[in-house]
């Protein structure tokens, strides 16, 4: 009987996860001075891993099955620095299907003091940089 219940539970879990098709977006902004913003929170490179984990772990397991990192970086930053940020993000939830989109921005045209910086960036309709 335990065997049948276990199989039923596993098949139910697989069925439920098949319906969880939403993507969880995490937005990261990096300005020309290498200040890092994870969503609305300003942090250092050393805090990025743990704060990203905390952000993802708060989400419903049944709602999201993929993760997309959007890195919006000043166009004058070195690619190596952006790669270091991406590496920290990917380490936060190893094993979860994820993708990274990278965008170059003109830092001077953005006002980060407003809580709506993410909306302003999305309104720009940027194309991701191809790797």
For the 21-123 domain, the top CATH level (class) is alpha beta
Pair 89, 53: CB distance under 8 Å: no
Q: What is the pLDDT of residue 129?
A: 73
Q: What is the pLDDT of residue 10?
A: 44
List per-block mean pLDDT (blocks of 10 residues) for the chain, which spans 131 residues: 47 48 88 91 95 90 84 92 95 87 76 63 70 60
User: What is the spatial distance between Cα 34 and Cα 29, in angstroms, rounded to a whole number?
Assistant: 9
User: What percentage of the chain has pLDDT greater than the value 90?
Assistant: 40
CA trace torsion 11, 16, 17, 22 (10° rounding): 170
Helix, strand, coil tally for the chain in percent (to 5): 40, 25, 30
Q: What is the pLDDT of residue 21?
A: 65
């Amino acid at each position: 009987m335990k065997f049948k219940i276990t199989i039923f539970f596993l098949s139910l879990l697989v069925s439920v996860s098949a319906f969880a098709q939403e993507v969880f977006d995490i937005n990261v902004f990096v300005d020309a001075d290498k200040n890092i913003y994870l969503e609305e929170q300003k942090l250092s490179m050393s805090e990025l891993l743990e704060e990203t984990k905390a952000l993802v772990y708060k989400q419903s397991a049944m709602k999201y099955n993929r993760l997309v990192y959007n890195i919006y970086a000043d166009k004058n930053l070195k690619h190596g620095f952006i790669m270091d940020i991406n590496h920290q993000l990917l380490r936060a939830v190893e094993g979860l299907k994820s993708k990274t989109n990278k965008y170059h921005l003109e830092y001077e045209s953005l006002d980060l003091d407003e809580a709506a910086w993410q909306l302003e960036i999305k309104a720009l309709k940027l194309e991701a940089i191809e790797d």
